[in-house]
Chains A and B, each alone.
Chain A
């Protein structure tokens, strides 16, 4: 199984990457290739130009600056999963992505930019209130995750831009849990949820819960988050809030479950993620 013919460049810097994308026809950035190459082999995507950023030095770092953590574009899933600096929701989402070989090669930034509706790390970045840093012909811009996931496999990055990093705030506690398509945590999510909470004086002051596998894109469970704020985070409060997880969400049925089942899983995984986050 071969992809269609394409031209290939491997720039050695981000500036060169932006230059390569400028004025190119249908070009695709490749980081780990764990989503792009399978799609190209199936000829579902056939770019004229592949811009391989895989060997640009310096992008494989996780660094801290103030209360923000920066994950570079070439940080692989296994690095995100294994780093103690990374908030628990994102580390777990990376650990539950694919299998060992996929985690050795695929990147956290690539998974987020790809934005599959059943992917793990996009939901975690959304719940954590992360931002996606992109560079294009007009310079650098930061896109909040809440604006990033536009529609199924469509994210707010432009075709002439390259994502250079993801930033996530470090405070609060968080967790991620999912039902994998092959059971347990394995493979894409049938459904899953990431939760992030901040507590002050025993009360929840801020909360975000993001769902994956439930709607056409990674989606915030706003009803649940609102219901959590002001509570003490007790099991009762979690159960009550989690029951609202699918409220206002346009739930999508797919091969792995009906609308009703997905909506039910949304409440189950919202509850599990919140419980894990509050016990982190």
Chain B
């Protein structure tokens, strides 16, 4: 398979989950394991251009696939617009859900770079965050959407109310 533009291979037990292959064989530990029961989305990666929960995909089933993990988003030292959005709008607290949340947001914005708040909330329904209450995550994705459309992101709430 190709992971973050790098061709990788391994001889593995068929029961190896994609998330374990990514973390343990490839040492890409940005992809997190939260619930391991397909609910929390912390393990979200791109599989042939669409988001999947890598704790619920066999690594052998990704033979020949193109995978992008959180480590593959920044290009030439430049953060991806979604990463920048999470930074600028404080879209995280403890950061545990963040890699998966960012991948889910990238998937959402690739399909629709101008989502409504409702569409954003639905777009991240497969990802749980136990810290933020989602508010700043939504703001971060709105920021990234604007960036991707080449527009000026809306001002941060704390700038408006100051």
Binding site for B on A (CB under 8 A): 1-8, 10, 30, 33-34, 37-38, 41-42, 50, 52, 54-55, 78, 98-102, 104-105, 186
18 more contacts with CB within 8 A, not counting A99-B41, A100-B123, A104-B107, are: A2-B15, A5-B13, A6-B14, A8-B14, A8-B58, A10-B63, A30-B61, A33-B61, A37-B58, A41-B37, A41-B56, A55-B64, A78-B50, A99-B126, A101-B53, A102-B53, A105-B53, A105-B56
Question: Whose C-beta in chain B lies nearest to the C-beta of A42?
Answer: B37
Complex contacts, A38 vs chain B, CB 8 Å: 37-38, 56
CB-defined interface of B83-96 with A at 8 Å, one 1/0 digit per residue?
A: 00000000000000
Q: Is A100 a contact partner of B107 (Cβ separation < 8 A)?
A: yes
Q: Is A102 a contact partner of B15 (Cβ separation < 8 A)?
A: no
Q: A100-B123, A101-B51, A104-B51 are in contact. Are A33 and B57 (CB under 8 A)?
A: yes
Selected A-B contacts with CB under 8 Å, 12 pairs: A2-B16, A5-B14, A5-B15, A37-B56, A38-B37, A41-B37, A50-B14, A100-B125, A104-B50, A104-B52, A104-B107, A105-B56
Residue from A7, A10, A99 whose CB has the most chain B CB atoms within 10 Å: A99
- The answer for the CA separation of A50 and B64 in the assembled complex, in Å, is 18
- The answer for the CA separation of A102 and B57 in the assembled complex, in Å, is 11
Q: Is B57 a contact partner of A7 (Cβ separation < 8 A)?
A: no
The secondary structure that dominates the B interface is mixed
Task: Count residues of chain B with CB under 8 A from any CB of chain A.
Answer: 31
Closest chain-B Cβ to A74's Cβ sits at a distance in Å of 12
Residue from A33, A38, A42, A100 whose CB has the most chain B CB atoms within 10 Å: A100
Q: Which of B108-149 contact A (CB under 8 A)?
A: 108, 122-126
Closest chain-A Cβ to B86's Cβ sits at a distance in Å of 18
Q: Which of B18-64 contact A (CB under 8 A)?
A: 36-38, 41, 44, 47, 50-53, 55-58, 60-61, 63-64
